[in-house]
Structure 1
Amino acid sequence: MNIPKKAILQKGQGRTRKLAKLEYIYERESRYFAQVAESVKDLALKEIQDLGGKNTQPVFRGIWFEADQSTFYKIVYLSRLASRMLVPLVEFQCKDKDDLYKGARTIRWEEFLTPQKTFSIASNVSESQINHSNFAGLRVKDAIADYFRDRSNRRPSVDTESPWIMINVHIHKDRAAISIDAGSGPLHKRGYREARVSAPMQETVAAAIIALSGWNGEEPLLDPMCGSGTLLCEALMHYSRIPAQIFREQFGFERLPDFNVREWEAVKAAADKAIRPLPRGLIRGSDISDLAIEATRTNLMGLHYGAEIDVELADFRQLNRVENTLIVTNPPYGIRMGKDQNMKLFYKDLGQFLKEQCKSCTAYVYFGDPGFIKHLPLAPSWKKNLEIGGLDGKIVKYQLY
């Protein structure tokens, strides 16, 4: 891809300056990339389109889309299913380390950071002559350091924990792309999880389960094995329209040279204003573990209307009859179960609970280990792969008549 240079008037946070600059891909094409797990790509595609993304193009592990500035801010702030949002800067042929170094040096890095700031690099390579992701990241790091050292004899430092800006390097079939991470990190890290139990569900997995269920608040929702409450939190955020990134303190798009603070503040204000109350009792959960209940209550405490969710210390086997309710749950498995636990008996009991105590309900059960599906003695309506969050899981729907 040829990246032209031209003289432009650039506006950034109140400053106007005339300079000859490299026109970045996102500036020229208003095009961005959402990293998305393959198994939720259709859901994420609809989400991006509903939020205003145009000319969407699904590709392997992601979706290209076009958006104006304010719409892009909105998509980053509200998306529940994307794992990262990337702002593409340059793309070039990259057959060896020198090509990568030279390509990285074409970027005017002073527009994004200074020697006093910090950065980190995430890199991924596939089907290329450069075949080591860490090496690619180090080569781009060297290019950035040398860029500043040649101009000021100083260089920014690498900070992998809390950098000023996060840079993404992707090389596929000897074609390199360098982007800015618009969310300054993985978007599944919502910020509400202050307490946890063993092997907690990733937030994007829970969001995908809620989306697949089609739940819209017309019937109550119950998680009878809520763990640390991730499904309950995501159900609350979905119903009450709480922005997925409401607790994120900084965004990578704020580091872009054309960042428009007024547009961002307007987008954020409109999204926050759209938050609606949660009716008492619409969402509820329970768990046999007092530690899990404590963690759930802690995590709900920081969310809008989290206090409206009833959380009960109880074994699902002893719950009262449930009717006309949507049930979503992630049963314990593997490391989440005690070594003495009889798994076959556990799933037999779960099946009996769903069949006898949950008439006129629909259940969506997530199996992090699909091998346990056969132990739940109910006929599924359907099964779908949900390979996300480091697990090759499945979500199974059971219609309970």
Structure 2
Amino acid sequence: MQTVGKPAGFRDPKRYLWALGLIAPACALLPSQLVYWTKAEVLWWIGPVIVLVAIPLLDWIVGEDGNNPSDEDYEALSADRYYRWCTYLFLPIQLISLGVACFMWTSPELDLVDKLGLAATVGFVSGIGINAAHELGHRVERAEKLLSKVALAQSGYGHFFVEHNRGHHARVATPEDPASARLGESLWAFLPRSVIGGFHSAKRLERARLFRQGRRWWSVRNNILQAWAMTAVLFGGLMLAFGPSILPWLIIQALIGIALLETVNYVEHYGLLRARKPNGRYERCSPRDSWNSDRLVTNIFLFHLQRHSDHHANPGRRYQTLRTSEEAPQLPAGYATMILLAIVPPLWRAVMDPKVAAHYDGDLSLANVAPGKQRRLLARYRAAA
């Protein structure tokens, strides 16, 4: 039987691999069974183990993809609803996993370290869930936008729905964007700047949108309040079902999810700066303004998020249609590996600062440099040149 919207003879080599992305939300369902059968309590931490150990190893073994859909296949790929269901099904698995984790957090059989491991696992699911929300939030269909807010409920990061689409995409790769990391800025300096700056930006953007419509902040049409209300309903319902003792664990997993998302933000645009037009305005975002990686395994788990250059140049494209570009600067590894590097600032700078310099042919005046670091970095790479 031919899938609706697919021409005869059409074949997507990664078509069925996308279903493997559902392993991510299922991670929180695995620990109890794995610990029961293996007696290895370290498996309560299976989420970080998969993301920070298994995926980098698989990225290294499997290597890069490099396969781009042709122009002739673009419409068929976009219309094929199979790909949408790969993101839709993420949500029920994510929420069921959270419910199972809440039940286990109330168990007296788990000690504090085991519960922390489970919280870390659920938090990694929450962070990847924000990526699923990211994919759904870019769509024009009202139902998919609603599902995006549902996916954000677990992390409590509902303002991301507003800030990412109307803030980050407008200001990406500029000093005005809180989510674009600057050359010389450590992950630990970036995290509070991005979290706080993104929150305030989202409020300003939504307040301005409501004002243009003649509505007040306290409106049922407020996208931020809608998303936060979903978090309140979700957390409140879980506490009614399992007791208030789960609240600290819900907060811990949400913070871990937020930290994972923002660390990925740090990786995606580090040091990159859009050129300015003669009138002082920034040029339209191009593939040169985002770091790319074609590591197949991480791309499957993150719905092609690593083809970030095409995503910013063409934000309306669905994940399965995103293309790699020779114009885009390439990371030396997949996001999972780069997260490990970012955690250790000297290691990150040793790997990435020369790549930023090479991207701009040694002229760091063209880069997005952290305030206070310009003189030192410019002098270093001028001397090297």
- TM-score (norm. length: structure 1): 0.25
Query: Which structure shows the higher strand fraction?
Result: 1
When Rg is computed on C-alpha atoms for both structures, the one with the higher figure is: 1
Between the two structures, name the one with larger relative contact order (CA 8 Å, sep ≥ 6).
2
